[in-house]
Amino acid sequence: MCYCEHSTSTETQKAERKLQIIQKQLTEIKAQKISLIFTHLYKLNKFNGNVLVTLRGKEIYKAALGYAHFEQLQPLNFQTTFKIASISKQFTAMAVMILYEQKKLSFDDAVSLHLPEFPYKEITIRHLLTHTSGLPEYLHFLAKDSLWSYAKNSDIINWLVHEVPPLQFQAGTQFQYNNTGYVVLAELVSRLAEMPFSLFMKQYIFEPLEMKNTYVLEYLQHLPTVNRAWGYDPTMRNIIEDSPFRYTQGDSGIYSSIEDLQKWDKALYTQQLVSFQTLFQAYKPYTFPDGTHSPYGFGYYLKDNLQTVYHYGNGAGFRSAIIRNLKEKNCIIILDNTSNPRIEQLAEMVENILHDRPITVPQ
């Protein structure tokens, strides 16, 4: 009897070890595929940037390929900061969730409850978070007026308050991706926290997570010249860092590194910043009156039956991507500083490799 039990236990252990070996080999194959593709594109001058991929919570690929500054031949490293553009929105959403847990707001509060001058009384905080507010896109107006080339958040708020541009649709009835709403959210955070938005982000998110190379760009702030990437046009010959619209916060404005974004990903599987109960609200779509759902939560696009959350960023010569599979704890982070139009393709390609699906390498 004892011998049989011991024999069964031994066989089970052997089977588990064999399975572990097979899984390790399969993981190595996935990592090799990812490495071959990015290395190949880098050699063809079709990719310049940093990549980090985790599978089931473990890092399987990490690379810094190319230059932070081409003229000075400054190589990229894992601490190099990139403009992450619209990926900033998930950090803004986290700031709102932190204030929610501090009982300073409710997601279904009217924005005007906290910003009395805000003229759209029907718009709620949830509408802003989920891009269902109907607010007009401020970028369309900036593009028409050269005087707004270096607009900051207060300019956007003043435009809404004094011009009261008409809504694109009734709040809560449609989804339309919109940067204006996240600028308003940054103002809301600053107002309720009684401190600048950038300081709140540093004090409540970046410092607790030890994201030492992450910051919110301030109006007319001189960016550091060490350990950051410069944004380039597609030919990788001209710096286009000083492009319009780069001083707004909330919708954009954050600079971060590949390693800091990995810390961010890991922290979101803990309750270090907010409770799981609060965090999970970010992974739910907005429900319209007809029962249909939006494709967006709080700062994230949603797919795969809400198992995957993701976002892309685009601005001033930079392209960025972050895809997180919440069920499998996979994460794909890609940062590029050459206006690379293939970022979404590359991120989805890596995602397909992780799930053993067919891939098409960008031409």
Q: Token digits for 42?
A: 């880098």
Q: Which residue has the higher pLDDT, 95 or 233?
A: 95
Residue 15 has a pLDDT of: 64
Q: How far apart are CA 344 and CA 148, in angstroms?
A: 30
Domains and CATH numbers, the chain: 47-354 (3.40.710.10)
Residue 245 has a pLDDT of: 46
pLDDT tens track for 17-37? 766 676 778 889 999 999 999
- pLDDT over 70 at 47, yes or no: yes
- pLDDT over 90 at 288, yes or no: yes
Residue 244 has a pLDDT of: 45
What mean pLDDT is reported for the chain? 91
Q: What percent of the chain has pLDDT over 70?
A: 90
Neighbour count for residue 220 (Cβ, 10 Å): 8
- pLDDT over 60 at 243, yes or no: no
In which element (H, E) is residue 319 found?
A: strand 318-325
CB 332 within 8 A of CB 301: no
Range from 178-182, 205-209, 231-235, 325-329 carrying the lowest mean pLDDT:
231-235
Q: Within its chain, how far is the Cα of 329 from the centroid?
A: 16
pLDDT tens track for 125-134? 999 999 999 9
Mean pLDDT along residues 41-54: 95
Mean pLDDT along residues 116-120: 97
pLDDT tens track for 62-101? 999 999 999 899 999 999 999 999 999 999 999 999 999 9
CB 98 within 8 A of CB 204: yes
In which element (H, E) is residue 68 found?
A: strand 67-69
